């Protein structure tokens, strides 16, 4: 069974830059995995940040940037703000209509 | 953007079948480009994709839930539904419905908490 991997915890200083990654337990992530990124704060629904590797969802500031770095998908946040402190999830398409979420990254801004 | 609203019983007895409905507004479930999806987040855990459906009848399921999950769409009511049979406490979660294209997931409902307990 393929597992989608994310860093469980990351931290960034206010105003700083942080990169979250999304990998596969076997194989490399590519554009054909349609990597997407979601932000979730407690008690709120997910917010779509990025889909199809690097397309920002409506209203998402350009501080959030999606890419593929090496064999992983990546979400880079620049100019980190305290409001960015929450959980981030990636999801990958593994073919045959199957989507799998990563375990999530809890980002701390301090 | 479409708006989605989940509805459900809130509490289900163990071994019973849960039923949730997602009403779509601002768009039609009879979209050629959209799939309609269900995900969940158990307390203290991460997001889990349950499955999705296209109005033409194409349905995809998470293999770990496939034997218990049934997703359907009602074009006359512009909503889609999830049934999950033989529920246990492990199925306690906030359930979200969403809209999806082949590029990824886009819009989400606000979620509904479903608790499995006797």
Average pLDDT of the residues in A29-58: 95
Partner A contacted by B106 (CB < 8 A)? yes
Spell out which chain A residues touch chain B, with contact meaning CB-CB distance below 8 angstroms: 34, 36, 38, 40, 45-48, 51-52, 55, 57-58, 87, 89, 91, 96-104
- Find the residue in B nearest to A53 (Cα): B103
Structure tokens at A36: 């997407």
- Per DSSP, the residues of A15-60 read T--EEEEEEESSS---GGG--EEEEE-TTS--EEEEETTTEEPTT-
Burial of B59 (0-12, 13-18, 19+ CB in 10 A): middle
Nearest by CB: A100 against B49, B104, B110: B49
Average pLDDT of the residues in B40-54: 96
Nearest by CB: A36 against B1, B60, B105: B105
User: What are the φ and ψ backbone dihedral angles of A92, each rounded to 5 degrees?
Assistant: -125, 145
Residue B16 has pLDDT above 90, yes or no: yes
- Find the residue in A nearest to B103 (Cα): A52
CB atoms A103 and B46 under 8 Å: yes
Sheet holding A4-6, edge to edge: A4-6, A18-24, A72-77, A64-69
**3-class SS of residue B102:** coil
**Cα→Cα distances B34→A51, B1, B13, B46, Å:** 14, 12, 33, 25
Nearest by CB: B46 against A57, A97, A104: A104
Which residues in chain B have Cβ-Cβ distances shorter than 8 Å to A38? 47, 105
B53-67 residue pLDDT tens:
999 999 999 999 989
Partner A contacted by B3 (CB < 8 A)? no
Residues constituting chain B: 118
Q: Is-contact B27 B33, C-beta < 8 A? A: no
A46-91 residue pLDDT tens:
999 999 999 999 999 999 999 999 999 999 999 999 999 999 999 9
Structure tokens at B13: 């007895």
Residue A45, min C-alpha distance to chain B (Å): 5
User: What are the φ and ψ backbone dihedral angles of B89, each rounded to 5 degrees?
Assistant: -60, -30
Query: pLDDT-based confidence at B109, cuts 50/70/90?
Result: very high
Structure tokens at B33: 């480009």
Query: CA A48, CA A57: separation in Å to the nearest integer?
Result: 6
A9-25 residue pLDDT tens:
999 999 999 999 999 99
Partner A contacted by B65 (CB < 8 A)? no
**Cα→Cα distances B68→B9, B64, B80, Å:** 18, 9, 17
User: What are the φ and ψ backbone dihedral angles of B19, each rounded to 5 degrees?
Assistant: -130, 125
Which residues in chain B have Cβ-Cβ distances shorter than 8 Å to A36? 104-105
Which residues in chain B have Cβ-Cβ distances shorter than 8 Å to A58? 1
> What residues contact B75, with CB distance under 8 A and at least 6 apart?
B28, B29, B30, B55
């Amino acid at each position: 069974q393929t597992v989608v991997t994310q860093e469980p915890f990351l931290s960034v200083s206010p105003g700083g830059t942080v990169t979250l990654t999304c990998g596969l337990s076997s194989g490399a992530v590519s554009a054909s995995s349609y990597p997407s990124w979601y932000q979730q704060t407690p008690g709120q629904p997910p917010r779509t940040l990025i889909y199809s590797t690097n397309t920002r969802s409506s209203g998402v500031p350009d501080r959030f940037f999606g890419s593929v770095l090496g064999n992983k998908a990546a979400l880079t946040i620049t100019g980190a703000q305290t409001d960015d402190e929450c959980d981030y999830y990636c999801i990958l398409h593994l073919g045959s209509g199957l989507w799998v979420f990563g375990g999530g990254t809890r980002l701390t801004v301090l | 953007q479409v708006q989605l609203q989940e509805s459900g019983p809130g509490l289900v007895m163990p071994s019973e079948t849960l039923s949730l409905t997602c009403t779509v507004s601002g768009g039609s479930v009879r979209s050629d480009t959209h799939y309609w999806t269900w995900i969940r987040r158990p307390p203290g855990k991460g997001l889990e994709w349950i499955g999705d459906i296209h109005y033409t009848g194409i349905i995809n399921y998470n293999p770990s839930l496939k034997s218990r999950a049934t997703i359907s769409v009602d074009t006359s009511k512009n909503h889609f539904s999830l049934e999950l049979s033989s529920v246990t406490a492990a199925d306690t979660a906030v359930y979200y419905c969403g809209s999806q294209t082949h590029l990824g997931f886009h819009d989400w409902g606000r979620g509904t908490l479903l608790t499995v307990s006797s």
